[in-house]
Amino acid sequence: MQRNPPSRSHPRGTLVPIADCIALDTLAARARVLDLLDGRLRHHLPETLARECRLADLRNGRLVFITTSSTWAT
């Protein structure tokens, strides 16, 4: 993902507007890709598990899922 140079400096440890971190069109494109991949991956999971989890990210070659509870995560 491309990052935009910050439009202004922000003190370390403060919240930074997302538009200062990444182009919104790049973020939207990434969200669409993850949503498409999520649908394809959950299609292969057992129905009960597919209802309880969602693909959150693809990080360093690993799929990152979020679940409705820690029970489903295990």
**pLDDT, one tens digit for every residue, the chain (74 residues):** 444 554 566 677 788 887 778 888 888 999 999 999 999 999 999 999 999 999 999 999 999 999 999 999 88
Domain hosting 38: range is 18-73
Confidence (pLDDT) at 1: 47
**Contact assessment for residue 55 and residue 38, using Cβ atoms and an 8 Å cutoff:** yes
Domain assignment of residue 6, yes or no: no
Total domain count for the chain? 1
Confidence (pLDDT) at 60: 94
Domain assignment of residue 26, yes or no: yes
